Amino acid sequence: MKRPPETLTSPSNPLIKTLKGLERKKERQATGLFLAEGARLVEQGLANGWQPDTVVVATAVADRPHIAALAERAEAAGARIVLVPDRLMSKVTHKDNAQAVIATFRQRRITLDHIRITDKARKALYIALYEVRDPGNLGTILRTADCAGADGVILVGTCCDPYSFEAVRASMGSVFDIPFAAASYEEFEAWRREAGLTSVAASVNGTARHDLVDLQQDTVILMGNEQAGLPPEVEADCDQLVLIPMRGGADSLNLAQATAIMVYETWRQRDFQ
C-alpha cells in the first residue's frame, strides 16, 4: 500500500458500529453501502468495477502477497483501508462466516433501461422475480442466472434486498456480475412489452408442461412469491403459464430450484448457445 494503512485498535471504534449496522436494511438504505465478506468476494467486486468504500483486513493476513495486492487495488479504486487485529475481526464479521477480509461497496441502483437487450446475436433470457422474500433464494437465483449467462434479473414489486448479507453470500459473487434491476409490476410489464419479450411464468395454474413450450424466443421467465406465487392479474398478462411436473401428492419445489429448472430448460432448448 502506498501509505501506511489505518489500524483499528478499539472495539468501540465507530467503524465497527457502521459495519455491523449494514446488516440492517435501514442502514444499507441510509448509507447506500453493503457488505462483502471474504477476499474472493471483495476481489469479484473490484474486478467488476464496483466502488469499494472501506476494506477491512485482519492484521495476521495483511502481509500475504495476494491480500496486500487486493488492498492496494482497492486503495487505487478509492477505498479506505483499515487493518484490524484478529481479536477484533469477530466483531465485524458474521459468527458463522469468519473472514480475514471484508469490504463495504457502494450499491448500484440499476433501472430497467440498464438491462435492456444489447446482444442481438443471441436470444435474450431474463428472469423476473415477483415479490421474492427469501434472500437466500434471491442470492442463489442470481448465481444460477449468472452461470446460465442470463441477461439480467428483475426484482418486481416488494422483494427482499439483494444487498443483504444473506443474498450477497448466497450469490457467491454473482451479485457483482449479473445485472439486476428493481421495478414495479407496471414498469416491468411496460418494459418487457416494449422489449418484445415473451413472458413465461411457472405456476401451479400452468397447463402446458414447461419443457413443451417454445422457449427459443426472447424470453422473460416469471417466478412468483415463495408462498403466494403470482397474483391472478399478473398470470393473466403472461404469454404462457407453464407447469413444472411433480409427482402426485408432492408439495412444491423450492423457488430457487424451480427457477434453475426453468432457466436450464430454456437454455437447453437453445442448445446451450
Q: From the list 211, 218, 235, 237, which residue makes contact with its own copies (rule: CB under 8 A)? A: 211
* Main-chain phi, psi angles of 175, to 5 degrees: -60, -30
The neighbouring-strand residues paired with 178 are: none
Name the nearest CA neighbour of 21 among 5, 32, 10, 8. 32
75-114 mask for its own copies (x: CB under 8 A)? ----------------------------------------
**170, 138 contact by CB (below 8 A):** yes
21-60 mask for its own copies (x: CB under 8 A)? ----------------------------------------
Sheet holding 6-7, edge to edge: 6-7, 80-84, 52-58, 101-106, 33-37
Q: Give 157 or 173: the residue with its C-beta nearer to its own copies.
A: 173
Q: Give 28 or 143: the residue with its C-beta nearer to its own copies.
A: 143
DSSP-based helix, strand, coil % in the chain, nearest 5:
40, 20, 40
Q: From the list 94, 133, 166, 267, which residue makes contact with its own copies (rule: CB under 8 A)? A: 267
**100, 70 contact by CB (below 8 A):** no
* Amino acid (1-letter code) at residue 110: I
Does 169 bind its own copies (CB under 8 A)? Our answer is: no
Q: Which stretch binds its own copies (CB under 8 A): 30-38, 155-163, 233-241, 254-262?
A: 254-262
Give the interface with its own copies as residue ranges (CB under 8 A). 136, 140, 143-144, 146-149, 170, 172-174, 177, 209, 211, 244-247, 250-254, 256-257, 260-261, 264-265, 267-268, 272
